[in-house]
Amino acid sequence: MERLNDRRVVEPSGITANGIRKWGMFLLAASVIGRSIIQLRIFGVGSATGEELLAIMEQDQKMMYLAAISVILQACEACAAAIFSFLMVEGVLKTSDMKAYVIRVAGVAILSEIPYNLAFSGKWIDLSGRNPVFGVLIGLVMLWFYKSFPGFKGTNLLYKVAATFGAYLWCSMLNVSNGICVLFIALTMWAFQKKQQFRVYAAAVAAVLCSVISPVYLIAPVACLLLHSYNGEQGESNKVVNYMSYPVMLIVIT
């Protein structure tokens, strides 16, 4: 009698890309609450620097607690930046239509701009900086060049250097929130794309180096613990929810 094989569908262990995205949106929501509600509406300082938060903490005990919470929520934003840098790299590696991917992200960046200004400055138009989705958009274009011109020989290397320098200039000129840090972490992950374990460790080191720009990035390697559990699967997702979550979040907070 022939014995039948037991063919059971075994779910991969770990967390999917969609699961990581949900954690990223949770951390992003926490940072939006900290900057928009605590810093802007309670402290009246908009995006507070470390020195401003220390000055606030010296006023009274109640303000000290709120300022401490604000610092923690800023750290959530740094963790979210690391997560979305990872998702950006994964998206470029696995997408079948890079052009459509870039167009979708560009649409989200544009839709988010006015709600972002209202949430963080109280103005409809604020030319002092752009929302962080523009950083993802610029990073996508940079990685598109990396993917289109593989290797480091001849003109391909020149194209990559030009794309990297151009991305840095655009993030600097537009003053994109967390833009340069997102670029640096994404670039590091791309460099280690074929070495999954080293990629996470390299991203953690890159996040720590970003603390030169913003000290809260010292906490960002915590997000790499989540990335370490990535199982390589996309997971069930809804594109409308994925792309519209951030602008809707900003509108609700506003």
Q: Dump pLDDT digits (tens) for 229-240.
A: 999 898 888 889
Helices (H) and strands (E) in the chain — how many of each? 10, 0
**Closest CA relative to residue 81, chosen from 181, 226, 212:** 181
Higher-scoring residue by pLDDT: 1, 22: 22
User: What's the predicted TM-score (pTM) here?
Assistant: 0.87
The residues near 254 (Cβ < 8 Å, ≥ 6 apart) are 36, 115, 118, 119
Q: What is the pLDDT of residue 53?
A: 58
Distance (Å, rounded) from C-alpha 105 to C-alpha 101? 6
Return the DSSP state at 216.
Answer: G
Segment holding 90, helix H or strand E:
helix 61-94
- Which residue type does 223 have? A
Residue 180: which pLDDT band, with cuts at 50, 70 and 90? very high
Higher-scoring residue by pLDDT: 70, 32: 32
Q: What is the pLDDT of residue 2?
A: 44
Residue 27: which pLDDT band, with cuts at 50, 70 and 90? very high
Please state at what angle helix 61-94 crosses helix 98-120, rounded to 10 degrees: 170
Q: What is the pLDDT of residue 163?
A: 96
- Which residue type does 187 have? L
Residue 48: which pLDDT band, with cuts at 50, 70 and 90? low
Tens-place pLDDT, residues 199-228: 999 999 999 999 998 888 999 999 988 998
CB atoms within 10 A of CB 184: 22
Residue 4: which pLDDT band, with cuts at 50, 70 and 90? very low
Q: What is the pLDDT of residue 120?
A: 86
Distances (CA, A) of 140 to 56, 79, 91, 101, 179: 38, 19, 9, 9, 12
Q: What percent of the chain has pLDDT over 70?
A: 85
Distance (Å, rounded) from C-alpha 24 to C-alpha 249? 13
Q: What is the pLDDT of residue 3?
A: 45
- Which residue type does 29 have? A
Distances (CA, A) of 35 to 84, 113, 114, 116, 129: 19, 16, 16, 11, 14
Return the DSSP state at 149.
Answer: S
Segment holding 61, helix H or strand E:
helix 61-94
* Cα Rg of the chain (Å, integer): 20
Tens-place pLDDT, residues 155-170: 999 999 999 999 999 9
1, pLDDT greater than 60: no
Residue 45: which pLDDT band, with cuts at 50, 70 and 90? low
Tens-place pLDDT, residues 96-147: 899 999 999 999 999 999 999 998 888 899 888 899 999 999 999 999 999 9
